[in-house]
Structure 1
Amino acid sequence: MELKRFYRTQRELAIALNQLIDSYWENEINEDELMGNIKVIYENNNDKLLKGNDYTKVVLQQCGKRRLSIVSKILDISKKNSIV
């Protein structure tokens, strides 16, 4: 699955996250690809993904709680691994 590194809008970003997570759920990509792609998306687009400590309203509405819980867990794992 080919993803962009930078997204123009919050809506584009949300669509990409949905496609990425859905591909994982459909066993089209493995866990390492999912985690790596989410890290890259976060590092390059965190201003469109987060506002303060919460997801932006557009991302929340487009992605939903189930998908964003996965994103949150991956970001938490990434932060813990980078500290150690």
Structure 2
Amino acid sequence: MEIKSFYKNQRELAEALSRVIDKYWCSEILENEMIDSIKRIVENNETKVFTNTSGEFTTVLRQQCGKKRLEVVSKILDRKD
């Protein structure tokens, strides 16, 4: 699966995160591939993912991705590998 590392806006970023998680939920990619993709996307686009002050997901991401997908992203980012 080919996923870009850098996105020009929050909407494209949200679509990419949603696509990766949905592919995992549909068993189209393995868990490790999903985890690596999400980590790489968030790491390279941190200013588009989190608000400056509180470290919460931006409004656009919350609206576009939804609660369940962002729970997955949070759990992946909180893991201590």
Q: TM-score range by the shorter chain?
A: over 0.9
Q: Which residue of 2 aligns with 1:70?
A: 72
Cα RMSD of the aligned pairs, angstroms, is 0.7
Say which SS state the counterpart of residue 55 (structure 1) adopts. Answer: coil
Kindly indicate which of the two structures has a greater share of residues assigned to strand: 1
Shift of 1:42: 1.0
> Are residue 31 (structure 1) and residue 31 (structure 2) matched?
yes
Q: Which residue of 2 aligns with 1:58?
A: 60
Which runs of structure 1 show a deviation greater than 6 angstroms over 4 or more consecutive aligned residues?
Answer: none
Q: Which runs of 5+ in 2 are unaligned?
A: none
CA distance in 1, matches of 2:36, 2:64: 21
Identity over aligned pairs, percent: 54
Shift of 1:24: 0.2
- Structure 2-normalised TM-score? 0.94
- Structure 1-normalised TM-score? 0.91
Shift of 1:21: 0.3
Task: For 1:19, give the aligned amino acid.
Answer: R
Kindly indicate which of the two structures has a greater share of residues assigned to helix: 1
Count of aligned pairs: 79
